[in-house]
Amino acid sequence: MPFTGFSPKTFAFLAALEKNNRREWWAEHKTEYIEYVKNPMTALSVELGHTFGTPHVFRPNRDIRFTPDKTPYKTNASFFITAFGPGGLYLEITKNRLYIGGGIYEPMPEQLITWRKLFDAPKRKIIKKFLYEVEKDDFLLIREGELKTAPRGWKKDHPEIEFLRLKHIALGRGYDIEEWMMDGKAALKILTADFEIIEKWNALLNKYVGSPKTEMMWSR
């Protein structure tokens, strides 16, 4: 099934789910979820997967075993594409936003150490140049959960402290809901170009950070 674009009903469903996050409401509206959310997300993941790797569409059910929030369903829809090397690619929609990201979202401790050591070496210039260039296209490092101070073994006044404090070696960009998302060809063109940028980031991480390969457990 080709990707023909999202629908305003896609985002309307997610907005309604946010207000009615109950199993009874879901049962009554599940066909809308399949038609307006699941089917286009699956089609988009397959189309992008032809170029970038194996896609995995996340289930709508939340894992509520270890959280006080017992609402049963995610109010976003997302998929992950496994990339060559330690990174990956991610796409998510919510009621009012489309977000794409990539890199190593949950690096292993040894990967973080390798990353931090880059900023005591000349290689840091390559990383910083790339990040400076993609920032022009609104791609930013993910600073969620970053350390409040320097990691153990590094000085608080290290000149590259902003990179040493990161807990995720990943970047992304967001879009407000726009007309091009409703047009399959236009959306594929824009998202393919964005994913190509993320693939370049993944290639840098593969070269300078490397494996072990970890699955990016994106849950935004």
What digits encode the pLDDT tens for the residues 139-180? 999 999 999 999 999 999 999 999 999 999 999 999 999 999
What local confidence, expressed as pLDDT, does residue 95 receive? 98
Please report, for the chain, the start and end positions of each structural domain, with discontinuous segments joined by +: 8-208
* pLDDT given for residue 96 in this prediction: 97
Query: What's the pLDDT score for residue 212?
Result: 62
Contacts 24+ apart (CB under 8 A), 151-159: 151/112, 151/116, 154/116, 158/119
Determine the pLDDT at residue 143.
Answer: 96
Which residue stretches of the chain have pLDDT < 50? 213-216
pLDDT at 1: 84
Domain 8-208: assigned CATH number: 3.30.930.20
Predicted local confidence at residue 214, as pLDDT: 46
Measured distance CA(211)–CA(110) in Å, rounded: 9
